[in-house]
Structure 1
């Protein structure tokens, strides 16, 4: 049943243990997330997505010739290299894995079912059923064609992504000029704001100094009042301590007298008990261990007979335990023999599976060698490759032009002779140089814009 309303604060407060548990939960959650990231970083390669790797290996086999034609590199392959295939087909000896009997029996039940299925299939073939060799060949050819189509799609997607990336880079370089202009305006506004902030901070510092002086005077008055109160409290505490010492001495005297009275009373009681014990008869009695009490109607036994029967029962129990232990050991030995036999047969099945896997890898390697040949005949991929090459050349030209402009700007800065001018003149010259640099970047020229006018005047003088 839900509570009608929360209990008042005066009668209930949440215990600190709940907050501590919440902190522990948060710490454990953070630690588990770190362990998860570490495990994902250190996970084996077989657990990762292999599409990107297949695409990279497939496209790396293609190279561009000087005439613009594509050729296939037979060294690199699509799915795996020859070294990797050899390593997988001839792996290192696996470490010993200790399994329990339940795991062994489960695995053996699977292999036994496979044996029965294979035996049934062989019997049917022997009786005259048809073989599925033609179907397997047709399926292999179909898988090879599907792999070629998938590889072509992956290559096409890769080229399209590279083209979009190159286009984005070119657009970014073209937008760089606008960004520089915006940055200049922002810097000017920031300088103005900084000057205003400096003035405002100076006024605030003066106001804070006055407030600090007022607070210091107030604290001095509070300190003097506190010292006066402490002196009065110390005097009262000394009076209370003297009274408390006198009370403790009186209580100690009363306690000592009471303790002496109790010890005297205890001594008197012990003396009376000792006198009573001396008056009693303390002679030892003779006991016959072979005699049985009463008449024996209730199967009473003497002490000697009871000891003998207990010894016989103990020996009988020991014999039963020995027989049970021998039975358990025999059953365990038989079970171990059955498990060893199952392990041997499982090992033979595993060897057969490894051989079949090596054959499949060899076939996959042959298929991978034939896959890159299909890319040479694909006109769409060739067209995308040519577009990518042209886009790369355009981007490299823009990059080289931008680098050359920066070098020329640095040389002009080195040639400038410093002189003492007003700050507004310096800012105006910097703005003018920035505009000249941007105009050179837009026009692609290699000299100052003012040289256009000079060269045109000289040319007109020569003509006329």
Structure 2
């Protein structure tokens, strides 16, 4: 068991070192030297095994990536990408170190790792069909095919039966473990190993803003505006103008009644025979005489309204003749009761308004009391603020010391950058030479392929031009009197088709003329109906205007002789309370007019001390900026050109 644990520990160390390796910023020799320094705690054999495995995994990375990429694409689709280096290490040991380690040592290494992962990967890699087909072909593209077959594929095929026994042992172990898992008890959860958050810095307290003085209520709030009286005057003037226009319109509407009967009849016949445009002008002239211009829908709607009112009035007269009572007395009583209800509602509204004003005065008093309490709290907070400022100054000094130490460490860490830069440049020059040679060979092959394609295209173009040079008959004679000869029942020639289309056009024109005549007749009937409705509307408007004028005069007389409204006792009590609260609020406001106290000298000294320490800590920043700029320039020079 101790050996299995040590094997698993060695594989874990190799995987950790592979995760740290970055080929762009570090060469393999430097990486192995740094790894050897970290592995000094191991003995010589273990250190040699770890370093040889690291070097082999880095050197044959392209060869191992072929197998691992295919494994993730096929059988390892649900495996973690972070475990990629684990499969690379096992693939390297099985391919290059299996004969040196031996099957027994190799099986110990495999059994010290996760059984499920090793069983899945070894079953995939030691598949004889895969080794003989695509793995061999992919490796042959990177190295010589004969060398691949003799040194790598054939040894793997020889070890395949023995490794198959190891795979079966792992499968038996998995089956026994699944049965044990089913019988085992419920797993116990573990707590998360969370990092402890840093304590938050105490923020600098913000200055307490001074409260703005509230504006007094303007006197115009409780007074009726001047515009209301002006609007009432304009309203009466407009009403008088409308009544005058109605009287003029009524006199102009019955001008035809004063004519002789023969002349009126002649004009009526002439109007019936006239065109629709003339009748439209006549309707427009009558509408212009009215105070408001009306369209057809408005005329019909108003005519229907007046017709309904006339029917209601006739029904009322018939009911009176039959002996039913007149509801006017009831309506008058109802009107009086509604007036009383309205007065009560107005009194209730005034009470609510005064109650709101009283609550406002009480709220102002409560606000002034809160201001006094806040002043006491502010004095206590000033003392606490001075203590916090002193602690903040000490913390700034400690941070400045830590910053200096960090700058010194960064300067020491970049002393050996030039040596790494020279080694990396030499390694990159070798890679560039190899890549240039490969590119030349690929360009030569591409040019040969393009020449062959151009030859084929040239031959194809010559064949197309030869076909196009042959003569083609473009003229075709057509007889318009012959049919197509398709064998259809409705088949006809072009001449017959044109004749039928001409007949259809004539029939369509006749139907349009009939429809146009019908529309003109309907329009004339509608215009005559509108003229009749306009006559009725003018009569009804005149009568309604007179009735409205009489009602307006009655309202004026009643308003002049109306009784004054008596104020309610509740309103008087509320007004008295409001006056008392206002006096109390003014006294309290006089007491609150006190000049603000000046800041303590102690707080001034603390702020000056903090400002001085902050300037000293900021002096460290230029040195840190120079170090970071040097590190950035050196890292840019290490990158490939």
Q: What's the TM-score once normalised by structure 1's chain length?
A: 0.51
Asked whether the equivalents of residues 296 and 530 of structure 2 are also in contact (C-alpha less than 8 Å), the reply is no
Q: Equivalent residue for 2:578?
A: 388
Q: Identify if the C-alpha distance between structure 1 residues 264 and 192 changes in structure 2 by more than 3 Å, giving closer, same or farther.
A: closer
Distance 1:147 1:265 in 2: 104
Asked whether the equivalents of residues 162 and 388 of structure 1 are also in contact (C-alpha less than 8 Å), the reply is yes
Q: Equivalent residue for 1:374?
A: 566
Distance 2:229 2:536 in 1: 32
3-state SS, counterpart of residue 566 of structure 2: helix
Asked whether the equivalents of residues 144 and 367 of structure 1 are also in contact (C-alpha less than 8 Å), the reply is no
**Deviation, structure 1 residue 139:** 1.9
3-state SS, counterpart of residue 194 of structure 1: helix
Asked whether the equivalents of residues 163 and 387 of structure 1 are also in contact (C-alpha less than 8 Å), the reply is yes
**Deviation, structure 1 residue 258:** 4.0
**Deviation, structure 1 residue 150:** 1.8
Q: Equivalent residue for 1:82?
A: 229
Greater RCO structure (CA 8 Å; 6+ sep): 1
**Deviation, structure 1 residue 221:** 7.7
Q: Deviations over 1:173-197 (max 9, x none)?
A: 4554443223212211221122222
Q: Identify if the C-alpha distance between structure 1 residues 121 and 185 changes in structure 2 by more than 3 Å, giving closer, same or farther.
A: same
Q: Equivalent residue for 1:311?
A: 502
Q: Deviations over 1:45-95 (max 9, x none)?
A: xxxxxxxxxxx99x947xxxxxxxxxxxxxx59xx94334345564999xx
Of 237-246 and 284-293, more deviation after overlay is shown by 284-293
Asked whether the equivalents of residues 303 and 537 of structure 2 are also in contact (C-alpha less than 8 Å), the reply is yes
User: Where in structure 2 are there 5+ consecutive unaligned residues?
Assistant: 1-76, 79-218, 243-291, 606-641
Q: Equivalent residue for 1:143?
A: 338
User: Are 1:159 and 2:354 counterparts?
Assistant: yes
User: Are 1:207 and 2:397 counterparts?
Assistant: no
3-state SS, counterpart of residue 326 of structure 2: coil
Aligned residue pairs: how many? 333
Asked whether the equivalents of residues 85 and 361 of structure 1 are also in contact (C-alpha less than 8 Å), the reply is no
Q: 2:515 is matched with which residue: 283, 303, 324?
A: 324
Of 378-387 and 207-216, more deviation after overlay is shown by 207-216
- What aligned pairs does 1:243-392 form with structure 2 within 5 A after superposition? 243-244=438-439, 247-248=442-443, 250-264=445-459, 267=462, 271=466, 304=495, 306-328=497-519, 330-331=521-522, 334=525, 363=555, 373-375=565-567, 378-392=568-582
Of 222-231 and 394-403, more deviation after overlay is shown by 222-231
Q: Identify if the C-alpha distance between structure 1 residues 228 and 116 changes in structure 2 by more than 3 Å, giving closer, same or farther.
A: farther
**Deviation, structure 1 residue 300:** 8.0
**Deviation, structure 1 residue 129:** 3.2
Q: Equivalent residue for 2:249?
A: none
Q: Identify if the C-alpha distance between structure 1 residues 372 and 392 changes in structure 2 by more than 3 Å, giving closer, same or farther.
A: farther
Q: Identify if the C-alpha distance between structure 1 residues 231 and 162 changes in structure 2 by more than 3 Å, giving closer, same or farther.
A: farther
Q: Identify if the C-alpha distance between structure 1 residues 128 and 239 changes in structure 2 by more than 3 Å, giving closer, same or farther.
A: farther
3-state SS, counterpart of residue 325 of structure 2: coil
Asked whether the equivalents of residues 293 and 302 of structure 1 are also in contact (C-alpha less than 8 Å), the reply is yes
Q: Equivalent residue for 1:49?
A: none
Asked whether the equivalents of residues 354 and 575 of structure 2 are also in contact (C-alpha less than 8 Å), the reply is yes
**Deviation, structure 1 residue 319:** 2.9
Distance 2:535 2:429 in 1: 93
Q: Deviations over 1:283-340 (max 9, x none)?
A: 999877668899xxx8987665554444334333333334334434554565566578
- What aligned pairs does 1:214-225 form with structure 2 within 5 A after superposition? 214=409
Distance 1:226 1:345 in 2: 109
The structure whose Rg is larger is 2
User: Where in structure 1 are there 5+ consecutive unaligned residues?
Assistant: 1-8, 11-55, 62-75, 414-420, 427-464
Asked whether the equivalents of residues 159 and 385 of structure 1 are also in contact (C-alpha less than 8 Å), the reply is yes
RMSD between superposed Cα atoms in Å: 5.8
Asked whether the equivalents of residues 147 and 371 of structure 1 are also in contact (C-alpha less than 8 Å), the reply is no
Distance 2:560 2:382 in 1: 58
Q: Identify if the C-alpha distance between structure 1 residues 316 and 143 changes in structure 2 by more than 3 Å, giving closer, same or farther.
A: closer
**Deviation, structure 1 residue 359:** 5.8
3-state SS, counterpart of residue 373 of structure 1: coil
Q: Deviations over 1:175-231 (max 9, x none)?
A: 544432232122112211222222223323332443455457668989997997698
Of 327-336 and 365-374, more deviation after overlay is shown by 365-374
**Deviation, structure 1 residue 134:** 1.6
Q: 1:183 is matched with which residue: 358, 364, 378?
A: 378
Distance 2:417 2:524 in 1: 92
Asked whether the equivalents of residues 159 and 384 of structure 1 are also in contact (C-alpha less than 8 Å), the reply is yes
Distance 2:421 2:557 in 1: 92
Distance 2:367 2:305 in 1: 61
Distance 2:366 2:541 in 1: 59
Q: 2:587 is matched with which residue: 382, 386, 397?
A: 397
Q: Identify if the C-alpha distance between structure 1 residues 261 and 283 changes in structure 2 by more than 3 Å, giving closer, same or farther.
A: closer
**Deviation, structure 1 residue 153:** 1.9
